[in-house]
């Protein structure tokens, strides 16, 4: 038991940092704020790789940590399986680079301690959602992550940011309301809150009307959080108004853990794999792809364009999940991975561009390539990866999803996926053409240099984008296939967790 | 109207408040201390403590609030409360797991029983009470700035 | 059963306030009504006929108590609701400062 | 029986809070809903929650009144109110009827299943030492939830401080005004 105590660090490190940050920010100089935040992000990254390593050595690929020593149905437990460790590595990698970027991005701002406090609060919530094995606890940490993100969207306190934040908060509250209602129904039906226990109880119950109703509530709630198309209206406002590094976190990690991960965990591993939801997922995914693709084309604000493209890429992930074959889910998870990396990279570059050109309207920029070659290169890598050009990771993930579609005979969906990819490519080419190519405008002559730390994190993320395809080689693919295996295992999750807990 | 709210309400209200505030404060501490025995607990008690301070501001006007009470001190106390709770959680590692109740359980129905539960109540009440009070203070200070404009 | 339905009607009223009203304060009020309804629903689910409050007594052994778990959940949920409401009010006040109104039809700088 | 009357009154007060034109009256009405909820908790044998709800409601009301007082009360005239009302009613009816068929499968009111809670009731006092079982659940069995709750409150407070602070631009603006 003692050796797996490190699992608690995923919550304790960011939470402790958040609490300490407000003290450090008041008493010590600004340098310590930066050092503390980078150190704790780095240690989180280390712990997440450690967990991955530890998991591979454990029999059964599952770790259960009993908080307070209470057995699972009675207390809360942490569950680390392949899907969890995959998400943890992803989240903490992105968070580390975003944190390094933010250190110099908010350097001039007097309220950097508040910024980092909220940033770590959000990270606590995200890690907590991923790692928990208890349904109500998932709700609590989902709210923790959300409330920090609402405040971060309004961080600059300008009129637009406040408006976006209000919309985002209200929509988030409605989503949480639906989720809590669903949890209440499930609690009354099964009389337990532990996800593993719940799944084994639900497997024995005869099919009633409760499960479809609760599933509808959850799909609405988590769909609102993940911004699937009928529920997407808040996302472009919120993601384009936040500070650039926060947009990177929101688009790269937050909507994927709070929306997609939580929804998949509940619908696949508690309710079991039900074909109706799968076809609903595919439909919603394709709808998101096409609608957001068309809407992204008409945008002239760089961050809004990127935000709309995020909706479409989430659609890809949901489409891949909805196919339901091992190949489809593998593709979806790989797409989730590479989209997190590339979209956070793109938002980070948008932050540097905003700093340099003082505008986000792409019609007012041109020829920035000469002045900021590294940013241009990083942006090119991210754009190509998102739109799926061969050597980059995005190509492989989209290819896998489309092949899985064709294998199962969904030709129309495959066609729609290709069409969506073309839309993304056009939007990204628009960005490249207007911002980086052509001659440099007069007002861009005296552009400040991008600080080293910002360049460092952009270049690192660009390299990950470039070589993400290599992760599909057989030796590292096991990382993704194990994670897909957890989802495909369905109700098996309950037995595995309860067995591991009894040990 | 504005000068009146800056200096507070009438003398009667101020006198009554002086007497009542201490009673409310003691009641809040009572609720916190008996959280594990009878009803109440850190959250309810903490909010009652916060309300007693809010009453002071309401009666004596916002000038008193802004001049006498240090926002920094409030924020520090709040953080210390939060850290205390996290520390109690981490103490559990001494006997096995996160959040294990390491102290002796004592005799039920006694004030000093239930191990870390009563300690957590104190930490939470510090965090909640001071925290909510500083929220209210932030609202008050914002309005003062606007009036000063 | 009818109690559950009445509670869900209250939830719907809150939802209606959030989605249909055009005043920021009314939207916040709608949110608080929604969270009241959710809290009440959870406690209703844990009620037991002739049950006692889940607090032990020193002189007798109480066998029949109501379910304490939903009460613990609602305790958490009340505090979450308080935090959300306070944050919403703070944002609304700042919006009022910037735009000079609580009317959301006039708060529309973001488009597209 | 009291519960039916209380709930009906809460619905009535909620409708008043939503529909009345004056913002101040609307806040008073929502206060009525909150205090009725507190009474309902008492009837449902949840005194802990009643206390918490009471004080939370007080604080919320003070902040809400503070937020709206001395600000204009614009009468928002709703366009297309017939369409709005009908569509909301239809949505509510659909939602309630689906919920009705789901509620039929749940245990009846007053007879919860309480399978895992049985252990809390039997061993709670002995294992945690706390006689208030709600306290035992939130601070021992499910103490990790409470850590999340503290984190949320902390996040909300820092968030409010962030939103309400004077930004650099505004300070500059003030200087120009002077």
The predicted pLDDT at position A2 comes to: 47
Determine the angle formed by the axes of helices A373-387 and A326-357, rounding to 10 degrees. Answer: 150
Asked if residue B74 lies in contact with residue D95, where contact means CB atoms within 8 angstroms, the answer is: no
More confident site: B146 or A150: A150
CB atoms B79 and A66 under 8 Å: no
Q: Is the pLDDT of residue A270 over 60?
A: yes
CB contact under 8 A, B109 and C86: no
Confidence of residue B1 (pLDDT cuts 50, 70, 90): very low
Please report, in angstroms and rounded to a whole number, the separation of the first and last CA atoms in chain C.
45
Q: State the nearest Cα–Cα gap between D176 and chain C, in angstroms.
A: 17
Q: Between chains, do B43 and C58 touch, taking CB under 8 Å as contact?
A: no
Q: Cβ contacts (< 8 Å) between B142 and chain C: which residues?
A: 93
C84, part of any domain: yes
Residue A298 has what pLDDT?
A: 85
* pLDDT above 60 for B4: no
Residue D20 to residues A388, D13, D25, D73, Cα–Cα distance (Å): 54, 10, 7, 12
Q: List the domain range (segments joined by +) for residue C78.
A: 2-49+65-99
Structural domain count of chain B: 1
Q: Looking at residue B3, what is its pLDDT?
A: 47
Share of chain B above pLDDT 70, in %: 76
Distances (CA, A) of A332 to A136, A339, A473, C29: 27, 10, 17, 40
**Contacts with D151 from chain A: Cβ below 8 Å:** 15, 18, 121, 124-125, 144
Q: State phi, psi for A65 to the nearest 5 degrees.
A: -110, 120
| Chain D residues within 8 A of A185 when measuring between CB atoms | 102, 106
CA–CA gap between residue A483 and residue A494 (Å, rounded): 16
pLDDT confidence of residue A74: 82
The three-class DSSP label of residue A379 is helix
Q: Is D47 in Cβ contact with C32 (below 8 Å)?
A: no
pLDDT of residue A1: 43
Phi, psi of A64 (to 5 degrees): -125, 125
CB B9 within 8 A of CB B56: no
Percentage of residues in chain A with pLDDT exceeding 90? 13
User: Can you tell me the mean pLDDT for A311-338?
Assistant: 89
pLDDT of residue A444: 64
Residue A359 has a pLDDT of 77
Q: C39 vs chain D: nearest CA distance in angstroms?
A: 9
Give contacts of A20 with chain B, Cβ < 8 Å: 79, 83
B83 → chain A, closest CA residue? A19
Q: What is the dihedral of CA B62, B63, B69, B72, to 10 degrees?
A: 90
CA angle D42, C7, A186 (to 5 degrees): 95
From CA A229, how far away is CA A308, in angstroms rounded? 10
Kindly give the parts of chain D with pLDDT less than 50: none
HSE-CB of B66 using CA atoms within 13 angstroms: 15
C58 within domain boundaries: no
Encode pLDDT of A372-405 as tens digits: 888 888 888 888 888 888 878 888 888 889 999 9
Q: Does C40 touch chain D (CB under 8 A)?
A: yes
Asked whether A177 and C18 are in contact (CB, 8 A), the reply is no
Residue B49: which domain range? 2-148
- How many whole angstroms separate alpha carbon A501 and alpha carbon D56? 38
What dihedral do alpha carbons B22, B27, B28, B34 form, nearest 10°? 150
CB B41 to CB D138 under 8 A? yes
Beta-strand (E) ranges in chain D?
Answer: none
User: Looking at beta carbons, which residues of chain A come within 8 Å of C69?
Assistant: 187, 193
For residue D141 the two structure tokens come to: 């069995």
CA distances from D105 to A74, B46, D102 (A): 24, 40, 6
* All residues at 6 or more sequence positions from D49 whose CB lies less than 8 Å from its CB, including other chains: C39, C43, C71, C74, C75, C78, D41, D134
> How many angstroms separate the CA atoms of A396 and A468, rounded?
9
Chain A residues touching D117 at Cβ < 8 A: 191
Distances (CA, A) of C86 to A110, A147, A272, B138, D27: 24, 11, 39, 11, 14
pLDDT, tens digit, 9 for 90 and up, residues A10-34: 888 998 888 888 888 778 777 888 8
pLDDT at A485 over 70: yes
D 145-164 residues with CB < 8 A to C = 145-146, 148-149, 152-153, 155-157, 159-160, 163-164
Query: In this complex, do C87 and A150 lie within 8 Å of one another by their Cβ atoms?
Result: yes
CB contact under 8 A, D76 and C12: no
CATH, residue C13: 1.10.287.3510
**A101 interfaces chain C, CB cutoff of 8 Å:** no
Query: What residue of D is the nearest CA neighbor of A209?
Result: D102
What are the beta bridge partners of residue A194? A134
Angle at A276 between CA A275 and CA A277, to 5 degrees: 90
Mean pLDDT to the nearest integer, A110-135: 89
Whether pLDDT at A153 is above 70: yes
Residue range A180-198: average pLDDT?
A: 88
Find the range with the poorest average confidence among A116-130, A203-217, D73-87: D73-87
Report the pLDDT value the prediction gives residue B2, as an integer from 0 to 100. 45
Report yes or no on C34 lying in a domain: yes
Whether the Cβ atoms of residue A350 and residue A303 lie closer than 8 Å to each other: yes
Q: Which residues pair with D110 in a beta bridge?
A: C48
Interface residue B85 vs chain C (CB under 8 A): no
| pLDDT per position as a tens digit, B34-87 | 877 777 778 888 889 888 888 888 888 777 766 766 777 777 888 888 888 888
* DSSP H or E run through A77: strand A77-80
Of A151, A155, A146, A152, which Cα lies nearest the Cα of A175? A146
Q: Which of A20, A26, A66 sits opposite B72 (nearest CB)?
A: A26
Tell me the chain B residues in contact with residue C93 when contact means C-beta distances shorter than 8 Å. 139, 142
pLDDT tens digits, one per residue of D140-157? 888 888 888 889 999 998
Residue A140: which of D140, D145, D156 has the nearest Cβ? D145
Q: Contact at 8 Å (CB) between B121 and B45? A: yes
Residues 6+ away with beta carbon under 8 Å from A424? A293, A296, A309, A312, A313, A386, A387, A388
* A&C contacts, CB < 8 Å: 86
The distance of C49 to chain A (nearest Cα, Å) reads 16
- Is 50 exceeded by the pLDDT of residue A310? yes
Supply angle C-alpha A470, A471, A473, rounded to 5. 75
Whether the CB-CB separation of A267 and A277 falls below 8 Å is answered with: yes
Residue of C nearest to B133 (CA): C86
- Please count the helices (runs of H) and the strands (runs of E) in chain C: 3, 0
pLDDT number for residue C59: 67
Provide the 3-class DSSP secondary structure of residue C23.
strand
Please indicate if any CB of chain A lies within 8 Å of the CB of D22: no
A460 and A344 Cβ atoms separated by less than 8 Å: no
C-alpha angle B115/B121/B127, rounded to 5°?
140
Nearest to B78 by CA among D50, D158, A416: D158
List Cβ neighbours of D70 (8 Å cut-off, separation of 6 or more): none
Could you tell me if residue C112 is inside a domain? no
| Rounded Cα distance, A331 and A321, in Å | 8
pLDDT along chain C (112 residues), means of 10: 88 88 86 92 86 74 79 90 90 85 74 54
């Amino acid at each position: 038991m003692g050796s797996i105590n490190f699992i608690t660090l995923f919550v304790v490190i960011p939470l402790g940092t958040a609490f300490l940050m407000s003290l450090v920010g008041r008493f010590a100089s600004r340098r310590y704020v930066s050092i503390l935040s980078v150190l704790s992000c780095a240690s989180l990254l280390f712990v997440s790789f450690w967990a991955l390593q530890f998991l591979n050595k454990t029999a059964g690929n599952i770790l259960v940590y009993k908080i307070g020593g209470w057995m699972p149905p009675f207390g809360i437990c942490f569950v680390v399986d392949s899907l969890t460790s995959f998400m943890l590595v992803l989240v903490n990698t992105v968070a580390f680079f975003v944190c390094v970027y933010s250190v110099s991005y908010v350097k001039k701002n007097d309220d950097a301690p508040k910024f980092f406090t909220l940033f770590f609060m959000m990270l606590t919530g995200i890690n907590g959602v991923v790692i928990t094995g208890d349904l109500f606890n998932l709700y609590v940490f989902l709210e923790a992550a959300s409330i920090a993100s609402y405040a971060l969207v309004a961080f600059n306190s300008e009129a637009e940011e406040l408006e976006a934040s209000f919309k985002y908060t209200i929509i988030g509250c409605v989503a949480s309301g639906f989720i809590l209602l669903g949890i209440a129904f499930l609690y009354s039906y099964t009389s337990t809150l532990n996800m593993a226990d719940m799944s084994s109880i639900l497997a024995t119950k005869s099919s009633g009307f409760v499960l479809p109703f609760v599933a509808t509530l959850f799909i609405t709630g988590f769909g609102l959080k993940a911004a699937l198309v009928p529920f997407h209206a808040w996302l472009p406002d919120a993601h384009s108004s936040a500070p650039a590094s926060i947009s990177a976190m929101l688009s790269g990690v937050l909507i994927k853990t709070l929306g997609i991960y939580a929804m998949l965990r509940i619908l696949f591993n508690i309710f079991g794999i039900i074909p109706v939801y799968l076809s609903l997922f595919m439909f919603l995914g394709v709808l998101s792809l096409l609608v957001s693709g068309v809407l992204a084309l008409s945008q002239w604000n760089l961050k809004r364009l990127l935000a709309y493209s995020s909706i479409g890429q989430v659609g890809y992930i949901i489409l891949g999940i909805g196919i339901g074959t091992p190949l489809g889910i593998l593709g979806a998870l790989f797409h989730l991975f590479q989209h997190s990396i590339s979209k956070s990279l793109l938002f980070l570059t948008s932050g540097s561009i905003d700093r340099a050109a003082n505008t986000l309207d792409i019609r007012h920029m041109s020829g920035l390539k000469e002045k900021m070659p590294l940013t241009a290169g990083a942006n090119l890598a991210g754009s190509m990866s998102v739109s799926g050009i061969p050597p980059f990771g995005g190509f492989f993930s989209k290819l896998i999803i489309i092949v899985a579609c064709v294998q199962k005979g969904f030709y129309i969906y495959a066609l729609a996926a290709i069409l969506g990819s073309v839309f993304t490519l056009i939007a990204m080419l628009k960005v490249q053409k207007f911002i980086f190519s052509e001659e440099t405008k007069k007002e861009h002559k005296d552009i400040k240099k991008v600080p080293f730390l910002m360049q460092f994190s952009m270049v690192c993320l660009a390299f990950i984008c470039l070589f993400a395809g290599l992760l599909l080689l057989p030796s590292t693919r096991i990382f993704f296939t194990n994670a897909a295996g957890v989802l495909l295992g369905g109700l098996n999750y309950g037995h595995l967790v309860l067995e591991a807990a009894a040990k | 109207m504005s000068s009146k709210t800056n200096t507070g309400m009438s003398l009667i209200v101020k006198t009554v408040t002086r007497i009542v505030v201490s009673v409310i404060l003691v009641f809040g501490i009572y609720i916190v201390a008996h959280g594990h025995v009878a009803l109440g607990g850190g959250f309810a008690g903490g909010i009652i403590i916060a309300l007693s301070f809010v009453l002071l501001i309401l009666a004596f006007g916002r000038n008193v609030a802004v001049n006498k009470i240090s926002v920094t001190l409030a924020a520090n106390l709040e953080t210390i409360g939060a850290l205390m709770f996290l520390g109690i959680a981490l103490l559990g590692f001494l006997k096995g797991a996160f959040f294990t109740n390491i102290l002796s359980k004592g005799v039920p129905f006694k004030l000093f029983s239930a191990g870390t539960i009563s300690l957590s109540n104190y930490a939470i009440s510090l965090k909640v009470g001071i925290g909510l009070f500083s929220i209210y203070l932030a609202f008050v200070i914002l309005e003062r700035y606007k009036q000063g404009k | 059963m009818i109690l559950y339905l009445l509670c869900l009607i209250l939830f719907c009223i809150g939802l209606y306030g959030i989605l249909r009203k055009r005043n920021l304060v009314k939207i916040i009020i709608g949110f608080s009504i929604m969270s009241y309804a959710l809290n009440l629903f959870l406690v209703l689910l844990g009620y037991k006929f002739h049950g006692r409050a889940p607090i032990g007594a020193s002189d007798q052994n109480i066998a029949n108590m109501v379910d304490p778990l939903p009460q613990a959940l609602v305790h958490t949920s009340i505090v979450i609701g308080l935090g959300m409401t306070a944050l919403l009010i703070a944002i609304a006040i700042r919006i009022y400062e910037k735009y000079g109104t609580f009317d959301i039809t006039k708060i529309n700088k973001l488009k597209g | 029986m009291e519960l039916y009357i209380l709930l009906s009154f809460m619905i009535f007060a909620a409708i008043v809070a939503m529909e009345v034109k004056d913002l101040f009256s609307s806040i008073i009405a929502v206060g009525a809903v909150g205090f009725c909820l507190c009474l309902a908790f008492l009837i449902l044998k949840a005194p802990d929650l009643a206390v918490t709800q009471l004080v939370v409601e007080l604080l919320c009301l003070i902040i809400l009144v503070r937020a709206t007082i001395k600000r204009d009360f614009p009468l928002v005239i709703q366009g297309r109110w017939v369409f709005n009302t009908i569509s909301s009613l239809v949505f509510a009816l659909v939602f309630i009827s689906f919920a009705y068929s789901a509620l039929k499968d749940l245990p009846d009111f007053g007879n919860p299943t309480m399978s895992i809670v049985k252990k809390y009731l039997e061993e709670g006092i002995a294992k945690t030492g706390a006689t208030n079982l709600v306290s035992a659940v939130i601070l021992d069995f499910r103490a990790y939830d409470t850590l999340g709750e503290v984190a949320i409150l902390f996040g909300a407070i820092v968030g409010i401080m962030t939103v309400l602070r004077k930004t650099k631009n505004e300070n500059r603006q003030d200087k120009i005004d002077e």
